[in-house]
Structure 1
């Protein structure tokens, strides 16, 4: 299809779409008579979008290029310094492929001095009237338009604060009667970095690890009261203490693990993790608090 030079297409981007335009659909019969009798510009009926009224005009210039414009109507009731920002899309129906060629425009500003914006060189008359392109069928043409008003609203103002807790929290918990624990074991709450935390452990596993691994997770108690957009990052180091050899064993870093430690290994007394049905869980937690509070002003 013989379209316009690329330097004229910076006003829009081209794409095809199956869905018809939502705001305006105009069917033109005896299309050839418009040019023969110089019935132009061709104006659409008024339609409404974004609480404003609009109309579309098509015009053929002397060079054979067709221009399309969107104009606000009924602006006399608006304040003297009115201004509306909107995105204008224009459509041509293709009778052959049964879809629409969409000329997707950029955001435009409409105001009292210039209430009209559009595409100065949309398509040539030759391309539009060439029946092999599909826009004209039995001298009928269908075009449409969409207008999306960009509503003005108070900006979203964000305050971001990042701080690092240089001294990590270190603690260990002695867990008694390990073999008899079921469901979830929860540690007592502790505070560090300005937040409350606890550890949740599934001695018999959770989810896919059920019956195979001990599952363990770090939980931020205060997260239930966090506002929208607030985040807290924490670096957590879990360790099961080897009580036979007085060394640390099987440590991992992160917020939690479904498959932290194999249950069979925990229950093997020769491994030293459970002695006299007791084990010790050690934790080292550093908090980097990223507070992202969104405010409307």
Structure 2
């Protein structure tokens, strides 16, 4: 039970035994979907698909989130830690390439408890798929439980992170946490089928009108990480959903070919390894159907 929550940089101090934190989480895990998912990076969903567990709630509440239904509206079903452990085993039985924990930060103690029950029965990696706005101390709690880190690195500018996620300190915390993730899991390690068994993949989604901020992030990654330790996934899937407020009128369009290419070209100049996306990925068709499947 969490009586004064300090799991993320918000450090809201919520007594989650009888209320919820800024993330929307209380004492029980909330899950919106648990199923095989073939739309992650090729080294994550390389064969049958990642065994994704989509957790409801989020510590960022980005104004443009494609998973708005679960991150901001908190759609999902409350389950016990034992039920979560059973979901991990069932996904493995279904042929999942890994256990892919999506937006899991606010449920880290529950996840650790569930993994304590079944980690010895899992022969596939556990992936921590997060928004990057993490505390190093929380990442340290996960040592020995997580094999692959899949963090977002959303913003370099504090003005932009403040505007879209009310997190002016985003880069300060994300950069420290991501370096801790890399140190914890070490060099990239693949199986014979190209699946990532250990290591870190940093995701960055290019936003409309903010290619220069993206380039600064790419340059930071190149300056502060090793190509043996990190893959970089530069995403082109920003979708201008109807729910985005007119206050953010610059986000009412897709990323242009020029904007995206300027970012991936800079990454290539710096010798970074990883993944890019086709412009067709900017579509609502790629948003999972959060219908409580597999729960």
- TM-score after normalising by structure 1: 0.16
Q: For the pair shown, which has the larger CA radius of gyration, 1 or 2? A: 1
Higher share of residues assigned helix = 2
